[in-house]
């Protein structure tokens, strides 16, 4: 497929961008506890720029300390952060990409432990918040002075972004954060009149535009997905205010912490590809501003189609570039892209307070990369699920000769009734698994003919490592019964909520399974290791990470 629209250059507010691929703002927790840039943070963003992305938008940073909504949130509320931000921008520019940063204020959903006091908001409490834990905020209401200070601090933060060298600044006006609270009839008790709300936000935007010389993008909610929330009609009514205030682009997202399903903010497996594209299309029909589409626009075909149809001018590929940082380059060069499953492992690890992680990419951050061994080895792999194939691919890339034996070429998890707590997107899971097989072939892995159970004669001697990746089975042949139980529980409201609980999920999917063989495979002279579920039944992310680490270890210990 040709991607002529996706890889044509374009511009935002006069800033030329090499293609239409945007990395949207996503929390990594790679900053220091005080918000300073770290080498790991620089490496993460630089790698996505190296991978061909056109515009890299750095994660949300609050213009006020009282607006921080997560631990290790990137800082921009003081001039002391400028040198670190400047080094980050330089690393992105070095790879040919443009750099943006998102300014976002938590408002009523700011994290009290980060603030040292009550958050400021446009609504009084109680406000439910869920981050590393669920709690209730009782915010302090803005008054006239604190609203003015809010504007001043946004202007100062934008000035710092410009001084650091960023090409674009984005305001986060969606997902229930402060600017979304200020525009909302449901959450704004300070400015209850719609015209007053629109005028205030337009004034904030105008003062930023007047103060800095770089373009301003505004992240707008197409739909909040709860009865009293913003609708696309509300956003269309606000659009002329943004245009008149001097905004250079709009990014159309959706969802809210109050949504019937808050996970729609970062839509997981059960949602269709391009879930917010219809809202983007409606906004694009009403404005001449560049529109950035987001929301499961993670496959090249969906991205190209959105641009070709004229529904958007840019596409934000978020989790797709977590899964494969070279998504853009590989797509342009017609190479295999590591598929994002939309399983939201990345979201869960981030919300648990940990650094960003990915189920299919064990090297999201440089802290995950082990040192490679130097001596070439011959490695024999039994089992070709994600763990076995990952081990084979990474071993081949590390310079080892690899032979894989698999009972079949199917991934059992793709047929399971649930995956990571969601109804599986089987088509996407099959694409990911097929892609792993292609990666193995491209890496030069030797693959046994289908159905072969034993290695050929030349692979029975002089073997350095035997990797047992044959997975796990349910104790006492309980597998069919457990699968039926999961299907039944997933269809009844109360048990369905129970199925979301970590303890029940863990019992049914992990605790009731044992490694397929407790006895290691023995080949004279070879070290035997167990990887993935063959070592310890668990989540895909753990299996893939385990396989990657073993593939690059110089000494694979007996297990």
- Kindly state the greatest CA–CA separation across the chain: 82
Do residues 359 and 542 touch, judged by C-beta distance below 8 A?
no
Same domain, 327 and 419: no
Q: What is the pLDDT of residue 556?
A: 47
The average pLDDT across 262-288 equals 96
Which residues are CB-contacts of 269 (< 8 A; sequence separation ≥ 6)? 341, 342, 343, 344, 419, 420, 422, 423, 424, 425, 428
Same domain, 312 and 383: no
Domain membership of residue 2 (yes or no) is no
Domain membership of residue 450 (yes or no) is yes
Same domain, 302 and 426: no
Q: What is the pLDDT of residue 117?
A: 81
Domain membership of residue 357 (yes or no) is no
Rounded to an integer, what distance in angstroms lies between the CA atom of residue 95 and that of residue 50?
Answer: 5
Q: Which three-class secondary structure state does DSSP give residue 216?
A: strand
DSSP 36: -
Same domain, 401 and 302: no
Same domain, 144 and 281: yes
Place 123 in a pLDDT band, splitting at 50, 70 and 90: confident
Same domain, 304 and 385: no
Same domain, 303 and 234: yes
Question: pLDDT by residue (tens digit) across 152-183?
Answer: 999 999 999 999 999 999 999 999 999 999 99
In order of 382, 476, 519, 520, the CA distances from 516 in angstroms are 12, 12, 9, 10
Please name which of 325, 317, 393, 389 lies closest in space to residue 358, comparing C-alpha atoms.
Answer: 325
The average pLDDT across 45-61 equals 98
The average pLDDT across 517-544 equals 80
Q: Is the pLDDT of residue 499 over 60?
A: no
Domain membership of residue 351 (yes or no) is no
The average pLDDT across 212-231 equals 96
The average pLDDT across 34-51 equals 97
CB-facing half-sphere around the CA of 547: CA atoms within 13 A: 35
Q: Is the pLDDT of residue 543 over 70?
A: yes
Domain membership of residue 326 (yes or no) is yes
Same domain, 299 and 394: no
Question: pLDDT by residue (tens digit) across 82-110?
Answer: 999 999 999 999 999 999 999 999 999 99
User: Residue 193, Cβ neighbours under 10 Å: how many?
Assistant: 10
Boundary of a domain, candidates 313, 338, 363? 338
Please name which of 83, 125, 130 lies closest in space to residue 108, comparing C-alpha atoms.
Answer: 125
Same domain, 476 and 328: no
Same domain, 417 and 493: yes
Domain membership of residue 171 (yes or no) is yes
Please name which of 326, 314, 23 lies closest in space to residue 306, comparing C-alpha atoms.
Answer: 314
Boundary of a domain, candidates 338, 356, 382? 338
Boundary of a domain, candidates 338, 362, 393? 338
DSSP string spanning 337-401?
Answer: PPPP----HHHHHHHTTSPP--SS-TTSSGGG-PPPP-S--EEEEE--SHHHHHHHHHHHHTT-E
Same domain, 254 and 391: no
Rounded to an integer, what distance in angstroms lies between the CA atom of residue 340 and that of residue 501?
Answer: 24
Residue 554 phi/psi, 5-degree rounding, is: -75, -40
Domain containing residue 493: CATH number: 3.40.50.720
Q: Whole-model pTM?
A: 0.91
In order of 31, 93, 366, 381, 536, the CA distances from 60 in angstroms are 12, 19, 21, 43, 36
Question: pLDDT by residue (tens digit) across 431-456?
Answer: 999 999 999 999 999 999 977 888 99
Q: What is the pLDDT of residue 447?
A: 94
Domain membership of residue 344 (yes or no) is no
Do residues 292 and 250 touch, judged by C-beta distance below 8 A?
yes
Residue 403 phi/psi, 5-degree rounding, is: -125, 130
Same domain, 266 and 117: yes
Domain containing residue 180: CATH number: 3.20.20.70
Number of domains present in the structure of the chain: 2
Q: What is the pLDDT of residue 67?
A: 94
Domain membership of residue 360 (yes or no) is no
Residue 139, domain extent: 10-338
Rounded to an integer, what distance in angstroms lies between the CA atom of residue 264 and that of residue 225?
Answer: 9
Residue that wins the pLDDT comparison between 497 and 259: 259
Place 559 in a pLDDT band, splitting at 50, 70 and 90: very low
Question: pLDDT by residue (tens digit) across 406-415?
Answer: 887 888 776 6
């Amino acid at each position: 497929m040709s991607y002529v629209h996706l890889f044509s250059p374009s511009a935002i507010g006069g800033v030329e961008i090499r293609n239409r691929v945007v990395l949207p703002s996503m929390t990594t927790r790679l900053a220091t506890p005080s918000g300073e840039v770290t080498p790991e943070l620089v490496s993460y963003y630089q790698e996505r720029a190296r991978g061909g992305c056109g515009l890299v938008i750095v994660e949300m940073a609050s213009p006020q300390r009282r607006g921080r909504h997560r631990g290790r949130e990137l800082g921009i509320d003081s001039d002391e952060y400028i040198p670190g931000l400047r080094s980050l921008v330089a690393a992105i520019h070095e790879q040919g990409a443009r750099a943006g940063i998102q300014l976002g204020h938590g408002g009523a959903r700011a994290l009290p432990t980060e603030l040292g006091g009550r958050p400021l908001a446009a609504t009084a409490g109680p406000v439910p918040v869920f981050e590393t834990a669920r709690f209730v905020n009782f915010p302090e209401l803005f008054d006239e002075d604190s609203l003015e200070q809010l504007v001043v601090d946004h202007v100062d933060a934008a000035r710092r972004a410009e001084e650091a060298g960023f090409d674009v600044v984005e305001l986060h006006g969606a997902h229930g954060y402060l600017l979304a609270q200020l525009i909302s009839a449901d959450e704004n008790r300070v400015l209850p009149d719609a015209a007053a709300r629109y005028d205030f936000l337009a004034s904030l935007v105008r003062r930023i535009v007047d103060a800095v010389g770089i373009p301003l993008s505004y992240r707008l909610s197409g739909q909040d997905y709860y009865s009293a929330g913003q609708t696309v009609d509300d956003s269309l009514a606000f659009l002329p205010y943004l245009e008149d205030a001097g905004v250079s682009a709009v990014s159309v997202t959706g969802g809210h912490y109050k949504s019937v399903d808050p996970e729609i903010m970062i839509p997981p497996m059960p949602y269709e590809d391009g879930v917010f594209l219809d809202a983007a299309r409606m906004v694009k029909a009403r404005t001449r501003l560049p529109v950035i589409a987001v929301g499961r626009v993670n496959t090249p075909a969906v991205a190209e189609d959105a641009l070709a149809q004229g529904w958007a001018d840019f596409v934000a590929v978020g989790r797709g570039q977590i899964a494969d940082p070279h998504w853009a380059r590989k797509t342009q060069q017609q190479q295999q892209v590591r598929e994002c499953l939309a399983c939201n492992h990345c979201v869960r690890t981030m919300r648990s307070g940990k650094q960003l992680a990915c189920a299919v990419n064990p090297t999201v951050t440089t802290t995950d990369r082990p040192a490679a061994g130097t001596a070439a080895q011959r490695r024999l792999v039994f089992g070709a699920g994600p763990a076995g194939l990952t081990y084979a691919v990474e071993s081949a890339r590390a310079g080892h000769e690899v032979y894989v034996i698999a009972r079949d070429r199917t991934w059992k998890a793709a047929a399971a009734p649930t995956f990571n707590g969601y109804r599986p997107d089987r088509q996407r899971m099959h694409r990911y698994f097929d892609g792993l097989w292609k990666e193995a072939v491209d890496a030069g892995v030797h693959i046994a003919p289908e159905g072969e159970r034993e290695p050929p004669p030349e692979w029975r001697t002089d073997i350095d490592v035997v990797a047992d990746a044959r997975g796990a089975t349910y104790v006492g042949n309980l597998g069919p019964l457990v699968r039926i139980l999961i299907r039944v529980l997933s269809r009844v409201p109360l048990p369905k909520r129970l199925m979301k609980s970590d303890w029940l999920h863990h019992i049914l999917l992990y605790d009731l399974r044992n490694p397929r063989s407790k006895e290691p495979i023995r080949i004279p002279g070879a070290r035997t290791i167990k990887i993935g579920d063959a070592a310890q039944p668990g989540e895909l992310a753990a299996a893939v990470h385990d396989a990657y680490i073993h593939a690059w270890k110089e000494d694979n210990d007996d297990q």
